[in-house]
Chains A and B, each alone.
Chain A
């Protein structure tokens, strides 16, 4: 559910109330915004404190014509005044007259600044330059790309670490979309499909899966979605972009005026607009819509009027309301039917937290229980990179007409793998197909059937793409996993395990068996998603799995401290539970096993299948589970390991118990399992002791608290009392 939370005023607006602001750009740091009014001033605000940090003005007769932006790389601010004069300054500069100045040869429309890259300058003529290229030769000739078209909207994105700039121009009611890549310099031009009787009011866009999704708000209160592929060669002719209806925000035929659109997350958009329902009373309101369920989540009336501009940075809306700039904090949680019925799995990531301390449980002897030794502080890697598949970029003709399902299904039966792949990509980008889920089901069944009949045919990329549509389940394509198991396509299996809610226990077990039996070396090249392990397995160092015979920390040998009798004969593995211990499996395998741990199961159905595992596999899996358990316990303050899709402690413990249940007699008999079991036992015992000590401390503290409260006053006392 999305909700509007508190609201506060950032600042008052003096001049040009009706016209709104020239621009509001994020500043350095998440809590700062750079506000440029339609006059001469740019001001930097600290949002949470509602206070200005700096204010810069140009001379009396000059006007800022392009909103000031912050260059995130250098921390400088860039603005253009009088269309052509570029100014660059820093926080400590006071007077804009004295800062760096460059006069350009063409009029600047806007400057777009993105993190980790050079700002892009968009000229009114449609040309795009990076700032450094421009500053190297300010007087260079700027070409005119668009002829008498006016730029209505522009936005820049990072796509595969390269900036992409998209701008939309208008000429005589026709809208054109330009996509400009900077490196290499490629420009695409598209025409936006026309809509009768209504015109686009506001645009916003986001990139996902190498395609750009453009959302347009039309004056008939509809939001349309336009998919623009980013990986294409320069086509010969101008293409027309078809659009699909994403959201119809109102049923009546009222006309929207001066409206704005913002994307909040993949399911939510915010619309700020003036509803021209009755002739005199223009009602302006801000509303959040869920595009998945087509529902209005929340809305807020803004009776004092707005300028129709809406910015949205860091979970806050910024809008001009009356004579002030108002900030409205919003909350937007993923909406799903599961959430509505309370069955949502908690998939929040803890990546942002840092690990403060590591505890070595083995070092906790009875006498040391009260003072857990602090190991070196490890900072969790908060950055989680997505290892994206590098798909082959086939050159294909873009067909004008949408591909029909029947066509695709018949093609699947006989076309070549590459053709199918290209058709499928097109088909998927054209997602306004009705009953999308069923269609995807047909397609994947078709593919799997062909796989079964033709052993050589295995359109892996297509299958991956289809699974990533998130519309599939095991029951929709029961043979897919069997085929993938046959081909040992671990990546596909991982995806299935992560996405299918209804995998039978037998298949889960088969996957587990397959994963355990694959050699780590053979997994090295595969593109398994490592998100779930990246935070606790050091991928680079784990490769050299060298068994150290003994670990001595600060000259302390755990061997000498051991007093338990059964430990003596097992001293050949004293380092078994050390924090320095390396993961028993490679990171790829670990990620695959995590996917297993994450899958849903029912104990009764799982147990018989678990019994099929061989002893070696059981030991290996147990070792891995133990490794996870130790990792967990090191981070005392955590209930979950950091990172996406990491297994929870409950999942680990459940699987460990299940595994021991299924194979207890085997494990007890195996000599190589003895060390493992005893260290597990010792470890669990240490934990139990530690927590029982903690419980005792808690009890004593509570008692102290109680004593403090219950004072006995005796039969007589004189006390002071103040009544206010």
Chain B
């Protein structure tokens, strides 16, 4: 049926950056996540937790705090001392404003979304007014000694609680004076000389302040009297983060030991009005510091320096034992970081600040299923291309022939001509680049390596012509018929070079004719994020994967969903398929087997054979092992369309090089873990 020589690549040394802060917006059900390298990601919970948007990182711009305000506006502030608003349509920083208070540690918006408070290194708390298109400095509260590490608004907007070193303060917003100063115990045990950093505070509507500190305590204070209400020793090391749910009956805290605890406000007796904060559930999903936590209405969200985002739905908030109650862990990006030159057998790996070009090895042997073949030629690291400037690379691609390498940062677009002359690789930058409007969000080369497609802002796609010996020319910019503000983030081009499909942040898929440089049609709107696109080389059918795991096939020539796609929708996909928790990130085809669609997510790759019947609910989706044990004849009764292989994982990339030859790029979690700094020392047994 399908026998492949699989090039199993594990030399992509990708290490995701640790998670620094999280902000959940209940209004849009989205989570904003900032990493330690300054990258920003946006997860859409409604679209099956798909990472729908990303803003690449920046060397000098670290993000220490994020907050949503005034609807769906996202603000961030960091140690550079700037407060930024992010443009979530063009996927870049909209504007930055210096706070003039030194590095900013904390940022919070009030309940009405009209004011931003930032806590600065110099001990000041500054208020900014949020205007429709900008923010404006309003005033500073009384400056105190010591950096402000955390702050929280009282829901009424009249008070602000701030956490500093060894103490908590309460400010009256109107007067700007500090009205309460609370000293926090230094340590529960150990030397008293170590200062106690209040890493996080929360101001509840009843006037209670919750603090989390480096001594490992979670404490509840009365803000009026300045007295301690409760102390919960949580950890022997620091408690780093704290978040309260909107109903104020549940708190989540994260510690530097990687543990996450839930506190709940529970009545002392059944039915009594008096209630108490009780530490209820411990979770240990992280190995390193949990620097950020968030509390959505139904789930605890935590992110740590081990680069994992964990979403733990609360059983009591989710109805039934459904798929929604399952724990979600995100370690790998939902974006493609690898591109492959099929003909030249090259792989291009994208790192935040450099690119690596590798040539695949070869073998002369053949074998049967499961054999490891002797490698006659080892893979070769051809070149490393460092990007200049502080901006991180947001997208890259290598042409199928391998002679062009393109990448883009937020502001600049780079194209290089690579030459291979008897074992020597030379690279030359194309200097005269046409000036393009907007930044590039995705790059793609046509199959004949003659054109480069650049996905850009407002739904536009630029078409560049690649010229020998090393030049390029702007041919055309395609724009959708309907006005779109969202950037394009996925591109697919047909093998004959006639068609282009582009999916944008508004999830609309536009199809353009490259022969006439004009829009051809739009795929009927489907209300879920697109995770992968590809055009079949023979039939010119567009295959679309959505984050809810649906797969559609749309015929570009006849501008309608194909009969097979309709059949799939009618029959419904297998439950096992729909309940996978990572999106399909890449789709490819086998030109020799037109009925096959090859797709992969992080945990499996699958050959979807359209000629075979779809599995019904009673049959097992992963049936390869059982099938292999059956005789040729007996298989016929059991085969179904989904041929799933889980041998290679976690899978970052998979591509069919030529007939019978596959390349898979794996990145085992253990390999990432070894790159991380050692976690907090913990005694596990006895002593």
Contact = CB atoms under 8 A, between A and B. Distances in A.
Interface in A703-724: 713-724
Interface string B631-661: 0000100010001010100000000000000
B607 A723 contact: yes
A589 to B, nearest CB: 52
Nearest to A722: B369
B361 interface: yes
Interface string A323-364: 000000000000000000000000000000000000000000
B375 A718 contact: yes
B643 A724 contact: yes
A714 B10 contact: yes
Contacts of A716: 7-11, 361, 375, 378-379
Contacts of A719: 5-6, 8, 370-373
B610 to A, nearest CB: 15
A505 B362 CA distance: 81
B628 A721 contact: no
Interface in B1-23: 1-11
A721 B661 CA distance: 10
B3 A722 contact: yes
Contacts of B628: 722, 724
Which of A717, A718, A723 has the most B CB atoms < 10 Å from its CB?
A: A718
A720 B370 contact: yes
B435 interface: no
B363 A718 contact: yes
B627 interface: yes
Interface in A679-724: 713-724
Nearest to A713: B8
Nearest to B668: A713
Given A723-B607, A724-B635, A718 B624 contact: no
Nearest to B609: A723
A18 B635 CA distance: 43
A716 B372 CA distance: 11
B367 interface: yes
Interface string B355-374: 00000011100111111110
Contacts of B379: 716
Contact of A717 (B368, B375, B624): B375
Contact of B10 (A715, A718, A720, A722): A715
A3 to B, nearest CB: 26
A724 B1 contact: yes
A721 to B, nearest CB: 5
B633 to A, nearest CB: 12
A723 B639 CA distance: 11
A720 B373 contact: yes
Given A716-B375, A717-B375, A718-B373, A724 B627 contact: yes
Interface in B325-377: 361-363, 366-373, 375
B3 A720 contact: yes
Nearest to B7: A718
Given A713-B8, A713-B10, A724-B635, A718 B3 contact: no
B245 interface: no
Contacts of A722: 1-4, 368-369, 628
Contacts of A713: 8, 10, 372
Nearest to A716: B379
B662 interface: yes
B2 A723 contact: yes
Contacts of B378: 716
A720 B368 CA distance: 6
A713 B666 CA distance: 11
A720 B8 contact: no
Contacts of B645: 721, 723
Interface in A22-57: none
A721 B647 contact: yes
A714 to B, nearest CB: 7
A717 B8 CA distance: 5
B430 to A, nearest CB: 31
A713 B4 CA distance: 17
Given A716-B361, A716-B378, A721 B11 contact: no
Contacts of B7: 716, 718
A433 to B, nearest CB: 56
A438 to B, nearest CB: 50
Contacts of B5: 718-720
Nearest to B368: A720
Contacts of A717: 8, 372-373, 375
A718 B372 contact: yes
Interface in B290-349: none
A714 B647 CA distance: 15
A498 B437 CA distance: 98
A722 B370 CA distance: 8
Nearest to B361: A716
A722 B635 CA distance: 14
A711 to B, nearest CB: 8
A724 to B, nearest CB: 5
Nearest to A714: B10
Contact of B6 (A714, A715, A718, A724): A718
B655 to A, nearest CB: 14
A718 B361 contact: yes
A718 B367 CA distance: 10
A722 B1 CA distance: 8
A724 B361 CA distance: 26
A722 B2 CA distance: 6
B361 to A, nearest CB: 6
A706 to B, nearest CB: 16
A720 B645 CA distance: 12
Contacts of A724: 1-2, 624, 627-628, 635, 639, 643
Contact of B11 (A715, A718, A720): A715
Contacts of B372: 713, 717-719
Interface string B84-115: 00000000000000000000000000000000
A720 B607 contact: no
A697 B372 CA distance: 30
B506 to A, nearest CB: 36
A650 to B, nearest CB: 33
A724 B638 CA distance: 10
Given A716-B11, A716-B361, A716-B379, A723 B1 contact: yes
A715 B373 CA distance: 14
A32 to B, nearest CB: 33
Nearest to B643: A723
B375 A720 contact: no
Interface string B149-181: 000000000000000000000000000000000
Contacts of A723: 1-4, 607, 624, 643, 645
Interface in A584-640: none
Interface string B401-442: 000000000000000000000000000000000000000000
Which of B368, B372, B662 has the most A CB atoms < 10 Å from its CB?
A: B372
A723 B648 CA distance: 13
Which of B8, B367, B639 has the most A CB atoms < 10 Å from its CB?
A: B8
Which of A713, A714, A715 has the most B CB atoms < 10 Å from its CB?
A: A715
Interface string B230-272: 0000000000000000000000000000000000000000000
A713 B379 CA distance: 14
Contacts of A718: 5-8, 361-363, 372-373, 375
A715 B8 CA distance: 8
B84 to A, nearest CB: 39
5 contacts: A718-B363, A721-B3, A721-B662, A723-B643, A724-B628
By Cβ-Cβ distance, the 9 closest A-B pairs, closest first, are: A722-B369, A715-B11, A723-B643, A723-B2, A720-B367, A718-B373, A720-B371, A722-B3, A718-B363
Given A718-B372, A721-B3, A723-B645, 11 more contacts: A716-B8, A716-B9, A716-B11, A716-B361, A719-B5, A719-B6, A721-B370, A723-B1, A723-B4, A723-B607, A724-B635
Interface of A: 713-724
